[in-house]
Amino acid sequence: MESEVPIKNIKGLLVDLDGVLIQGKGMTPFPDAADFIEFLKDAGIVFRVVTNNSTKTPGGIARRLQENGIPVGEEEIVSPLVICPRVFEEQGVERIFVMGTEGLKEALSEKGFSVKTDPAVDAVLVAQDRTLHFEEIKTAMTAIRRYRARLFAMNDNRAILDDDGMLFAGAGAICRLLTYATDYHNHVVHFGKMGELYNKVLFQQFRQEKKTLAVVSDDLYTDIKGFQREGLLGIFLTTGKCRKEDVGGDTKPEVILDSLTELVAFLTSG
């Protein structure tokens, strides 16, 4: 699909992590990921790796990418773990029940928060959790209903692609379960892409106007549709959880490509 925006007007890129640069929970890089990042640096195209990943810190993600030959620095990654501690400190949240990985719990503990396993908490935080079980849902519901805990999410993802090619519920989907089950009517603040603070922090890192930026993602809903509303060009890669047949209705990326190699050709085509 041809872009309605001239190529020369693209001055910066928001590059999704999972499904674009890497695949699978082992963070296996796509074969052309390193060359793509090298191309951006050589061409002087400003970029940020935008991710909803809450299983690793930005520093941990950067180290893993570098180990795989992808030259991305910690400062070039915008993650919910940059946003979350700021909000909790501002809102006086101290005790947290976390539905997420041990890595996330450790990261929050290191920031000085009390990560609890019982429902007597200030907040419930929902993140990606591949081992979600019945007791966690019970504890979260009890915290919200009985202890008036506030509900937060690391991101608003609907679905996550697992290593076996099947999908599981993302943090956004689990939050909707909890809001329905507990009759929770407060606004659920999330720290991921399209969250108010996430987007503010992200766009502060670009001097370019939004109309000269593009988002590159395999996520048609949160990323492509969301950032198009912000005025960005939507470049959809078919390398992740969404497929070409998912395009339609009010979800229409300006560009559809099958690899980062094709994206380099697109950016250099004139």
pLDDT of residue 211: 93
Q: Give me the helix-helix angle, 33-43 and 260-267, nearest 10°.
A: 20
Q: At what angle do helices 102-110 and 80-90 cross, to 10 degrees?
A: 50
Q: What is the mean pLDDT of residues 173-195?
A: 95
Q: Does position 70 have pLDDT exceeding 50, yes or no?
A: yes
Q: How confident is the model at residue 164 (pLDDT cuts 50, 70, 90)?
A: confident
pLDDT at residue 241 in the model: 87
- State the pLDDT confidence band at 6, using cuts at 50, 70 and 90: very low
What is the mean pLDDT of the segment spanning 234-260? 93
d(CA 87, CA 35): 36
Chain mean pLDDT for the chain: 92
Q: Which amino acid is at 264?
A: V
Q: Is the pLDDT of residue 25 over 50?
A: yes
Domain boundaries, the chain: 7-80+196-267, 91-190
Q: How far apart are CA 205 and CA 122, in angstroms?
A: 32
Q: Read off the pLDDT band of 152 (50, 70, 90).
A: very high
pLDDT at 4: 45
**Fold of domain 91-190:** Rossmann fold (3.40.50)
Average pLDDT (226-234) is 95
Segment among 6-20, 181-195, 236-250 with least mean pLDDT: 6-20
- Would the CA dihedral through 173, 191, 101, 146 be positive or negative? negative
Say which CATH class 7-80+196-267 falls into: alpha beta
Average pLDDT over residues 166-190: 94
| 91-190 shares the fold of 7-80+196-267 | yes
Structure confidence at residue 250 as a pLDDT band (50, 70, 90) = confident
**DSSP E strand stretches across the chain:** 12-16, 22-23, 28-29, 46-50, 77-78, 95-99, 114-116, 123-126, 150-153, 159-161, 167-169, 189-190, 213-217, 233-237, 255-257
Q: Taking residues 92-113, what's their average pLDDT?
A: 94
pLDDT score of 2:
41
For the stretch 44-54, pLDDT in tens is: 999 999 999 88
How high is the pLDDT of residue 75?
A: 95
Give the confidence band of 85 by pLDDT, cuts at 50, 70, 90: very high
Mean pLDDT across 165-173: 90
Determine the angle formed by the axes of helices 134-146 and 171-182, rounding to 10 degrees.
50
Residue, of 24 and 264, whose pLDDT is higher: 264
Q: What is the pLDDT of residue 3?
A: 42
**Which segment of 66-80, 158-172, 253-267 scores lowest on mean pLDDT?**
158-172
